[in-house]
Chains A and B, each alone.
Chain A
Amino acid sequence: MTAITSRLAGFDRRPWVLLSPALLSVTLLLVIPALFIVVYSFWLRTATGADQVTFSLANWREVLTDPFYRDILIQTLRIAALSTITCALVGYIPAYYIAYAPTRHKTLLLVLLMLPFWVSYIIRTMSWINILGVSGAVNSALLWAGLIDEPIQMLYNEATVILGLVHFLLPFMILNIYVSLDGIDRSLTDAARSLGCTGWQAFKEVTLPLSVPGLAAGSLLCFVLGAGTYITPMVLGGPGDAMFANLVFEAIVTQLNWPLGSALSLLLLALLSALVLVYSRFLGIDQIAKSFR
């Protein structure tokens, strides 16, 4: 009876009942809290460490004009961009191989590709200390071979931060490129070849352009995840390699300066959201969901 009346009213309640726990959680745990960051960013921290309820632009002025923050922001974007580009260049090769190679190991390669997602981020990050550290694999090998007399300090610089990020982000990139390569109609490259293209030309003119959605989705994911990290720089970076999220962590957890931390995290959010918006305007957010199928 209720079903009939609600259908007469042109309104089906059932999906909303199913959705309500999830939507309620998102609202309570994300949407409303996000509004609170906005409010907090206009508050002030008094000398005693308490929050002062007010409307002040001081935090914003500090965050937007202090060259210290600007430099770290630029550094963050640079590290994220370099990691993303490296991932794209390095990740295309295995993605192409899995999608097209005449191999019996396709399933195995795909399963292996999923494996890093199950191996903890912190473990993958710290594993590089065992490789590049003073008593790590590389130094031990070089010492053993007599090529060096004492261990080289290879860790704790921007390069190792990028290395750690690439190691963490690469599976996301490979998976996204693979999904888009796998969806390309094979007869298109065959047509190009039969019309006289070389293998390389067919790749450059047909396959590569058609895989751009995957490349773009992978790049967006890598960039956003890379630019928002603070663990990698803390584990693999030196004192000068802090990224923007480190500032947020420092302000909120160490200094307990909540208003400043709010302004900093909003700035990070604004930059990365702008990127996501531009992306979804041109390519649609659905591409990212595809890699879950």
Chain B
Amino acid sequence: MTLAWTAIRLGTVLVYLFMFAPVAVVMLLSFNANQFGSFPMEGLSLRWFVELIQNDAIVRAFQTSLVLGALTSVISTSMGVLAALAMVRYDFPGKRLISTALIAPILVPEVVLAVALLLFLRFLDVPRSFFLLLMGHVIFTLPFVVLVVQARLVGIRRDYEEAALSLGANAVQTFREITLPLMLPAVLAGMLFSFTISFDDITGTLFWKPGGVETVPTQIFAMLRNSISPEINALGTVMVVFTVALPLLGAALARRLSARMTGR
């Protein structure tokens, strides 16, 4: 029995190593002083990060990704929260069908989603634009927001809202004073989720992006075509820190929020 557990534990460690070692290597190599950015390491240096900041194309890609991610997260979270409210709080005919429709964008392979949207806009004679990119990211992140917010909403008891209603608050007041504060962690989670998904997306983005516009992932992809330069590793490190630190920060914030609320 203990032997079996030892084996299972060893297997688990190996699988986790497999998941994290390559990314750890990217981060390690980004501090490499060696001019080819490869092994063996020849000491630590921040030169690749300095080169990143001096590279206009990369800085522009970073700005594009940030704006795109922020807009995507606001739009898709607003829609997703409303939809999740309807799904959790109301019963109505055709609910199953609606539920499937809401998560349809992740049931369809992203490539097909990308082609479909592109063709439709081509039919309407709209050229590829930042707007198309934004719409693509919104529709692709919507299901994740709906699923995450729905999962959190189920845990918020209806009683609080009913109490407010019976004490004379109207529906809008109840939403503003009771439901919204209670589901704030869920809203934050949805925003973070859609932001990072948008920030990381490459499959659809390569189809949708207008010529000359790059996001961080497509920029990395374009740079990979030449050769793997230490700059890519540095960019990867920045991105990892960004997309990992942000959710951790968000989780901490959400915990503080809910602690404050239950503390009352």
Residues facing A in B224-238 (CB within 8 A) are: 224, 228, 232-233, 236
| CB proximity of B24 to chain A, nearest CB, Å | 9
Partner of B117, one of A29, A174, A266: A29
Judge whether A26 and B101 touch: CB under 8 Å: yes
Q: How far is the CA of A249 from the CA of B150 in the complex (A)?
A: 34
Judge whether A235 and B115 touch: CB under 8 Å: no
What per-residue 1/0 map shows which CB atoms of B87-109 lie under 8 Å from chain A?
A: 10110100000101111110111
| CB proximity of A162 to chain B, nearest CB, Å | 13
How many residue pairs link A and B with beta carbons under 8 A? The number is 253
The number of residues on chain B lying at the interface, defined by a beta carbon within 8 Å of a beta carbon of chain A, is 87
Judge whether B19 and A22 touch: CB under 8 Å: no
B240 near A: Cβ within 8 Å? yes
Interface of A is mostly: helix
A269 near B: Cβ within 8 Å? yes
Partner of A131, one of B22, B115, B203: B22
| CB proximity of B28 to chain A, nearest CB, Å | 9
Judge whether B112 and A229 touch: CB under 8 Å: no
Q: With a CB–CB cut-off of 8 A, which chain A residues contact B243?
A: 118-120
Q: How far is the CA of A121 from the CA of B196 in the complex (A)?
A: 11
CB within 8 Å for A120 and B101 given contacts A21-B78, A22-B82, A37-B115: no
Judge whether B138 and A25 touch: CB under 8 Å: yes
Judge whether B109 and A16 touch: CB under 8 Å: no
Q: How far is the CA of A136 from the CA of B36 in the complex (A)?
A: 11
On B, residues with C-beta under 8 Å from A are: 1, 4-5, 8-9, 11-12, 15-16, 18-23, 25-26, 29, 36, 38-40, 78-80, 82-83, 85-87, 89-90, 92, 98, 100-105, 107-113, 115-120, 122-123, 135-136, 138-139, 142, 146-148, 150-151, 154, 196, 199-200, 202-203, 206-207, 216-217, 220-221, 224, 228, 232-233, 236, 239-240, 243-244, 247
